[in-house]
Structure 1
Amino acid sequence: MRKFKWLFLLVILVMSVSLVVAGCGGQSNSGEENNGAENNAEAQKEKPKFTYAMSGLYKPFNYKDGGNLVGFDVEIGAAIAERMGMEPNPVTNPWETLIQGLKANKYDAIIGSMAITEQRQEQVDFSRPYYRSGAQVFISADNEEIKSPEDLVGKKIGVVKASTFKEVALEYTDEQNVVGYDSDVIALQDLPTGRIDAVITDQMVGLVAMKNELKIKDVGDPLWVDEMAIPVNKGNTELLDKINTALEEIINDGTYEQISEKWFGRSILGE
């Protein structure tokens, strides 16, 4: 009987020691798990997003390739976001509603080759220009009738909807003969078909299309020179200052020139 009593006590003692060891081990593992979770959370902590909009239909400035947004505007926006310590988040919106979307706070800024105009300045605040380019007339390569802008009188002219190009087209022809397109590229592609006689668009867009062997040609000198800048909501001086500072940085450190060389073979800053 005494033998069984001692055996019972021995079992109790072993179980107690096991519980103490397990308790200590559990506490240590819990600490390690907590530390691991904190480190993981820190590693996964996201930078604030810089959401900037464009039409996504303005090759080579901004367009979709394999479902991804690419182009000069996209890369300039990414470089600006990096300098501001933010995550780039380019999005698309129809060109004619870009400013409305900005005012509705759908995005932080527009980096979509938008020219500074007095009318737009009434609605938004612009950054410093990030490139300059001219409005250019383009025609089909086999068109021998149009030799200067003056020959556009009464002709059918293609322009992007809600763009400043429509205003100048109306100086040469009537409303019926101004054809609106969602994309400059589609308008230019319509020239060889004969559905339109000319297109007024950004000089760079047309020159890149010619480089890619679209059978078109330019007519005369640019009609005017536009300054493209980055709109933000009226009164958002904090963001505007950050964007301007970031722009200066990428211009001064060569990042801007590198991006411009990639897409155009030269700097298009125009300073």
Structure 2
Amino acid sequence: MFQLHSSTDSRLFHLLVLLFLLLMAASSKATESLDIRVGNFYPNYYKNSEKQWEGLDVEMAVALVERAGFTPNVVEIPWSRALIMARQGQVDVLVNVNITEERSEYLHWIGPERYTQMSLVVTRENAALPISSLDDLVAQCQSLGLKFGIQPDVAYGDEFAERLRSDDVFKACAEELVGPQNDDKVLLGRLLGYFDEPLDILAERRRNPDYGLVVHPFTVIKEPVFFGVSKASVTADELKRLLVAYQSLVADGSLEAIDRKWAF
């Protein structure tokens, strides 16, 4: 996923290391910190028993910021608010971000960080529902009398967004969700399911095989996600250091190793 062409690995890696060291030596801000936005969403971001932040996206962001010579400052911020704060320069680095035209107005992109997907999460009893398209999804929602859940400010693909914008029947089947009650609503039969990255469900089932939710085969989008760096708070020199750090992490396999560690 993150590997470079084998014929150029060695030379490119040494060139990146040299460039990185030169940038570090030229910078007077090597001890400054950058704020990294996280949520509370296992296994992407969570606090361990010692109240320290861990998780797939936490490790990747911390690795990037530290490799660039900054001190990472991990801050828990709700997603919608974090986008506003990044626009205003109140938070420096967002993790696990889809590229959109609007976000590109206020974010620089570094990556890809990794690849992600948005799949339908349902109860075990509904794991075999015949859903392979958005039309099938609407048909099942109408048949069962249940809506499906979506999260605000999360990208589910162009077709999905267009249906929400222009198709009143499709929009009537969707319910906007906020917070950890998503799972409960599905388990209690108040929602057909919701769309999310499957990592947390797979992790929960690994810990508890009897867990009531599963990942349905229907996926609306699969694409790379990126580090988003605030244009309002991060200078050109700081951005350059982050870009070189990213290339270094790719070249030595660090990002790939973190990704494998959290694969379920």
**Fold conserved between structures, TM > 0.5:** yes
Contact 2:150 2:174 in 1 (8 A): no
- In the alignment, is residue 88 of structure 1 matched against residue 72 of structure 2? yes
What whole-Å deviation, never above 9, does each CA across 1:4-37 have from its counterpart, x for those lacking one?
A: xxxxxxxxxxxxxxxxxxxxxxxxxxxxxxxxxx
Q: Which has the higher contact order (CA 8 A, sep 6+)?
A: 2
- Higher CA-based Rg: 1
Contact 1:169 1:178 in 2 (8 A): no
Q: Tell me the distance in 2 between the aligned counterparts of 1:261 and 1:193.
A: 34
* Pair 1:212–1:190, CA change in 2 (3 A): farther
Q: Tell me the distance in 2 between the aligned counterparts of 1:146 and 1:174.
A: 20
Q: Tell me the distance in 2 between the aligned counterparts of 1:191 and 1:100.
A: 30
Q: Tell me the distance in 1 between the aligned counterparts of 2:128 and 2:250.
A: 42
Structure 2: unaligned runs, 5 residues or longer: 1-29
**Corresponding residue for residue 152 of structure 1:** 137
Matches for 1:167-186 after TM superposition, within 5 Å:
167=161, 170=164, 173-175=170-172, 177-183=174-180, 186=181
Q: CA deviation at 1:105?
A: 2.4
Structure 1: unaligned runs, 5 residues or longer: 1-45, 266-271
**Corresponding residue for residue 186 of structure 2:** 191
* Pair 1:200–1:80, CA change in 2 (3 A): same
| TM-score, normalization by structure 2 | 0.71
Moved more, 213-222 or 250-259: 213-222
Q: CA deviation at 1:145?
A: 7.2
The alignment yields a C-alpha RMSD, in angstroms, of 2.6
Q: Tell me the distance in 1 between the aligned counterparts of 2:191 and 2:163.
A: 13
Q: Percent identity?
A: 20
Q: CA deviation at 1:211?
A: 2.8
**Corresponding residue for residue 124 of structure 1:** 107
Contact 2:89 2:231 in 1 (8 A): no
Matches for 1:253-268 after TM superposition, within 5 Å:
253-265=252-264
Q: CA deviation at 1:191?
A: 1.9
What whole-Å deviation, never above 9, does each CA across 1:79-133 have from its counterpart, x for those lacking one?
A: 112211221111111111112112232222212x221122211332211210111
- In the alignment, is residue 209 of structure 1 matched against residue 204 of structure 2? yes
Q: Tell me the distance in 2 between the aligned counterparts of 1:50 and 1:96.
A: 20
Moved more, 166-175 or 213-222: 166-175
Matches for 1:1-271 after TM superposition, within 5 Å:
47-54=31-38, 56-66=39-49, 67-111=51-95, 113-143=96-126, 146-148=129-131, 149=133, 150-153=135-138, 154=141, 155-165=146-156, 167=161, 170=164, 173-175=170-172, 177-183=174-180, 186-213=181-208, 214-234=211-231, 236-265=235-264
Q: Tell me the distance in 1 between the aligned counterparts of 2:103 and 2:197.
A: 18
Q: Tell me the distance in 1 between the aligned counterparts of 2:243 and 2:183.
A: 33
Q: Tell me the distance in 1 between the aligned counterparts of 2:35 and 2:128.
A: 46
Contact 1:61 1:72 in 2 (8 A): yes
Number of aligned residue pairs: 216
Q: Tell me the distance in 1 between the aligned counterparts of 2:204 and 2:103.
A: 28
* Pair 1:228–1:123, CA change in 2 (3 A): same
